[in-house]
A and B are shown apart, each in its own frame.
Chain A
Amino acid sequence: MTDKSLDDRTLHFSGVASRLRRLDASMLLWLALIALLAFLVLNPILRLIISSLQETDTGRFTFANYRVAYGNVRHLQALTNSLELGIGVALLATCFAVPIAWAISRTDMPGKAFVRLMVFAAFVTPPYLGAIGWILLAGPNSGWLNKVWMALTGAGHGIFNIYSMTGLILVVAVTSFPYTFVFTSSALDLVSSEMEDAANILGARTLRTTLRITLPLVTPAIIGGIIISFLEAIALFGAPALIALPARFNVVSTQLWQFFEYPVRVEEAAAYAMPLLAITVLMFWLQRSLLGRKGYTSVTGKGGERRMIALGRWRWAMLGYALFVCALSVFLPMLVLLQAAFAKAWGRGFSIDNLTFHNFYYLLVEQTQAKQTILNTFVYSAVTAFAAISLSLAIAYVVSRKLVPWSNVLAFLCVAPFVIPGIVLAIGFYAAYAPPPLALYGTATILILGFTTRFLPIAYTSSAAGLRSINPEMEEAVRILGGSRLLAIRKVLIPLLKKSLAGAWILVFIPATRELSSAIFLVGPHTRVISVMLFDLSEEGNFEVLSALGVILLIATVAIAGIGYRVIGRDFMLRRN
């Protein structure tokens, strides 16, 4: 008996010892990462929820904030307006994106490379810049399109009024459809032509096959796109501020802005923001339940060849549609923005005596902040991209190799910020970190932290996808030869992931350069970024200088993305060959 108990104790002791041994340096690193995630994601969200239930200045528990936030009819109206905007944008963006994605991925439509480039241009354009362009195009009395209409038909007034819910939906949809496009075309690239052939030979022609077989097969991607468009739309601040205000309606984001007027009512803002969070969570739940048991990928491995469908004369119709969408999202707005950027007074139109370089000169030479602002934008975005990718890669690694228990919680936290509209996240950050003890108000730090959190979901999804494609046996080979885990990561994993990471970097960098909704609350006088400056410029109606700044932003972003594309060597917009 004594022997046995001795054995038992020995076993127990060695168990504890081995667990302690496992607590090596890498484990501490993982714990640090988890703490970081809690700081970035959990704390602001919690602060937000707590703030909403706190009384201003005293901190006592109260529901008063919710009463103030929702007791007002106008506030409720803003909420329904946001929903209307979200649904409208989601539907319109889908109508834009899906046919084009289908045409590019599965048919012999000509001009694919050009259309792809235009979709990318739409992706790079910030919605508020697109809004400015469309104001210049479709202002009810002065917009170019209306002037053309009036000239052609002799009518007394134009037919397009951008200052309307319809106008706002259009403006937002033309800059957010690229997301749906990318998801849908990636998914379509994976559908084997045999799926379509099977329907074909049973008697279904191209249209019926597309509607009943091909598109239903990519339903998850389309739904993903719908959800993202919806969430983007309800969280936007810039475009609604420019268009909804003159149209005399409010949406949740512009209403939230009012809570930040003097006196600053963070608590009421937090309470008002809660439904946005609830809606987003609802969206994701809806997505999971809609998709359910059905499978969507081809169940066998072989036969994945993809052939282009010959459309005959219809390919010109598809190209026409694609070019129409490109005109709405890129050609027309860019044209007017360029005209305004080089104009003395944009209202005077296209004439030689109206041309000038002065706007650019003013920005780059006379205006003292512009240079700093431009620099800030790209530096902050670059740092954000690096931070987001590093953090998300580390977390993705921990999750995929199951290094800690409940690693799925980590994955959830990484993706959770997606659920929070940018403006709400900024308020949370503001509540959590702007005042003392951290006192990060007006620093570059709080801006970068906010951005990093905001774009963590994109970074994480890309990193996780990249990691999934790498066989763990690669690292195991290093470890069995005596190398540590960190060595395996440095020498094997990261080199293998280089291209995928570079693509993810750009996917974070570009939206960061154009981010307005979260920036507007977090910038200080020395940390202004281009998006906020554009917004401020729009307040004084200086469209000429504003357009020039917008042009600078677009050129620089495209240049950087172009360099990135060369480095990566493949289209980072998730295109497969």
Chain B
Amino acid sequence: MFTIRRRNFVIGSSAFLALGIGQNGLAQPAPSMTPHEMELYNAAKEEGGELTWYTAHSDDITAQALGRSFESTYPGVKVNVLRTTAQVAYQRVTQEIKASAVQCDVFSSTDIGHSVELKAKGALEKYIPENASKVLDIYKGYDPDGYYFVTSAGLIGIGYNTAKVKAADAPKNWTDLLDPKWNNNIALGHPGFSGYVGTWALTLRNQYGWQFFEKLAKNNPRVGRSINDTVTMLNAGESAIAGCGPVGTLLESVQKGNPLAIVYPTDGSVLILAPSSIMKGSKHPNAARLFMEFLMSKEASQIWVDHFNESIRPEISPPKGARSAKDLKTIRPTVAEITKGIPEVIKQWRETFGV
């Protein structure tokens, strides 16, 4: 029955096509653009057809892919993708605000504390995307006032190099990282650069107290900048363990053929909620709104999944071999904790690790 209905549909739409009645509709680039999208799209083209996006949500390649996808969905609107770590992005945006020369249109940091701060300073533009109600429940409702929305999520677990470490010996939980046998073999990022690392450090501080890091420091970890540095260290064989391993990047590396494996710690993987917002004073407000819609669309989630990241839409399933955040034990700090806690953690980190 279902099949017949489909066949009918196909016949019907072919007839439709043949008659050329739907010509106008077919000429439209996005087959399923809502009227609201259409409105934003036209306005975006009129205001200059351009958008600048500061993002720390992913690596450069994924960010570029998102940019290209947007451009092909909405031809005539160009996206300038600027990928940096969260703190660097935040630094740039605050410099712009201070200089009264805001260049960024959409700001995507992995530190939700940034959004809270910017909202408090009145630096954000309020806009509630249509798609905001369509994402997974765990990603909804972080700012009821509508200044920032979660547009991407990530998991942090523990990664290890299978060529150097046997599955049986690998750490099973965060506390296993303190084992002296991992001396000189753990790679970490730096909360002073990476929002992911900052949130991870804060989460573990909540869980185990700061003594955890004092003991971790004794294991002489290799401190990089971005959280992705840890995967680089693993790939290179420089370190055997990624102490804060970004699951998405790890999965991607595995798929490329690198000898890596993921551990979802028993006390819980750290869930990162990464928000996006529109900057007040943005020169391309309509393009910015359109982009916010896009970030929360199925297309965007598909791209995330294609690059081994979390999907925020229920329609898109997680990548092969990965487990979705909604199916795992996750731990994370509250928004209020993040806002206050991350600057504290950065300071403590510097004291403990020396940089």
User: Which residues of A approach B to under 8 Å, CB–CB?
Assistant: 74, 139-142, 163, 241, 244-246, 248-250, 254, 258, 260-264, 344-348, 362, 366-369, 434-436, 439, 441-442, 524-526, 528, 536-537, 539-543, 545
Contact = CB atoms under 8 A, between A and B. Distances in A.
A188 B90 CA distance: 52
Nearest to B343: A262
Interface in B245-259: 256-258
Given A74-B350, A264-B98, A539 B85 contact: yes
A525 B106 CA distance: 13
Contact of A441 (B59, B96, B184, B228): B96
Given A245-B223, A345-B258, A536 B83 contact: yes
B257 A524 contact: no
15 contacts: A141-B236, A141-B237, A245-B190, A249-B354, A250-B355, A262-B87, A264-B98, A347-B237, A367-B60, A368-B80, A369-B81, A434-B95, A528-B82, A541-B231, A542-B61
Contact of B235 (A261, A345, A362): A345
B80 A526 contact: yes
Contacts of A258: 192
B290 interface: no
A541 B229 CA distance: 5
Given A345-B235, A541-B232, A245 B355 contact: yes
A360 to B, nearest CB: 14
A542 B60 contact: yes
B100 A249 contact: no
A244 B224 CA distance: 10
A539 B56 CA distance: 11
Given A368-B64, A369-B82, A248 B258 contact: no
Given A264-B95, A541-B231, A542-B59, A366 B83 contact: no
B91 interface: yes
A261 B239 CA distance: 29
A261 B64 contact: no
Given A366-B68, A526-B52, 18 more contacts: A142-B236, A246-B222, A249-B354, A260-B95, A262-B94, A263-B94, A347-B258, A367-B60, A439-B99, A441-B95, A528-B82, A539-B85, A540-B60, A540-B226, A540-B229, A541-B226, A541-B232, A542-B232
Given A139-B238, A441-B96, A525 B68 contact: no
B269 interface: no
A525 B224 contact: no
Nearest to A255: B355
Highest count of chain B CB atoms <10 Å: which of A246, A528, A541: A541
B285 interface: no
Interface in B40-68: 52, 54, 59-61, 64, 67-68
A255 to B, nearest CB: 10
A155 to B, nearest CB: 15
3 A-B pairs with least C-beta separation = A541-B232, A441-B99, A142-B236
B354 A74 contact: yes
A248 B60 CA distance: 26
Contacts of A264: 91, 94-95, 98
A369 B235 CA distance: 27
A540 B235 CA distance: 13
Contacts of A346: 236
A262 B97 CA distance: 12
B100 A436 contact: yes
Contact of B99 (A139, A248, A435, A545): A435
Interface string B96-118: 10111101100000000000010
A86 to B, nearest CB: 19
A347 B236 contact: yes
A411 to B, nearest CB: 34
B182 to A, nearest CB: 13
A368 B238 contact: no
A430 to B, nearest CB: 8
A540 B350 CA distance: 21
Majority secondary structure of chain A interface residues (helix, strand, loop or mixed) = loop
A246 B224 contact: yes
Interface of B: 52, 54, 59-61, 64, 67-68, 78-85, 87-88, 90-92, 94-96, 98-101, 103-104, 117, 184, 190, 192-193, 222-226, 228-229, 231-233, 235-239, 256-258, 350-351, 353-355
Contacts of B237: 141-142, 347
Contact of A539 (B54, B81, B225): B225
A435 to B, nearest CB: 5
Contacts of A345: 235, 256-258
Contacts of B228: 539-541
A441 B101 contact: yes
Contacts of A366: 64, 68
Contacts of B193: 539
B103 A524 contact: yes
A249 B98 CA distance: 30
A344 B355 CA distance: 32
Contacts of B60: 367, 536-537, 540, 542, 545
B223 A442 contact: no
A526 B103 contact: yes
Contacts of A441: 95-96, 99, 101
B100 A362 contact: no
A348 B193 CA distance: 28
A260 B91 CA distance: 7
B223 A248 contact: yes
B103 A442 contact: yes
B324 to A, nearest CB: 24
Given A345-B258, A541-B229, A139 B236 contact: yes
Contact of A248 (B87, B117, B354): B354
Given A142-B237, A264-B91, A369-B82, A439 B100 contact: yes
A172 B90 CA distance: 30
Contacts of A524: 96, 101, 103
A434 B258 contact: no
Contacts of B67: 368
Contacts of A539: 84-85, 88, 193, 225-226, 228-229
Contact of B224 (A245, A348, A442): A245
A524 B101 CA distance: 10
Contact of A442 (B59, B96, B233, B256): B96
Contacts of A536: 60, 83-84, 88
A262 B90 contact: yes
A458 B307 CA distance: 48
Contacts of A526: 52, 80, 103
Highest count of chain B CB atoms <10 Å: which of A139, A439, A537: A139
Contacts of B235: 345, 347
Contacts of A541: 224, 226, 228-229, 231-233
A362 B351 CA distance: 40
Contacts of B87: 261-262
B185 to A, nearest CB: 8
Given A258-B192, A261-B87, A543-B232, A142 B238 contact: yes
A404 B139 CA distance: 70
B347 to A, nearest CB: 11
Given A368-B81, A439-B101, A163 B222 contact: yes
Contacts of A142: 233, 236-238
A526 B103 CA distance: 9
Contacts of A348: 257
Contacts of A250: 354-355
A10 B222 CA distance: 84
B253 to A, nearest CB: 8
Contacts of A525: 52, 54, 80, 82, 92, 103-104
A434 B82 contact: no
A525 B78 CA distance: 14
Contacts of A367: 60, 64
A439 B95 CA distance: 12
A368 B63 CA distance: 11
B226 A248 contact: no
